[in-house]
Amino acid sequence: MTFRYDDIKQKLTNYGLKITLQRVAVLEAVFRLDGHPTADKIMEEVHKKHPGIATGTIYHILETFSDKGLIKKVKTDNYAMRYDPIHIRHHHLYSDESDRIEDYFDEELDRVLEEYFVKKQIGNFEIRDIKLQLIGKFK
Identify the pLDDT of residue 17: 97
93: three-class secondary structure by DSSP: strand
Q: Which amino acid is at 60?
A: H
Interacting residues of 93 by C-beta distance below 8 A, sequence separation 6+: 101, 102, 103, 104, 133, 134, 136, 138
Predicted pLDDT at 118:
85
The predicted pLDDT at position 35 comes to 79
Axis crossing angle, helix 21-32 with helix 55-68, rounded to the nearest 10: 70
Task: Check residue 121 and give its pLDDT.
Answer: 82
Q: What is the mean pLDDT of each run of 10 residues along the chain (139 residues)?
A: 81 96 96 90 97 97 96 83 90 89 92 88 82 90
Is the pTM above the cut of 0.85? Answer: no
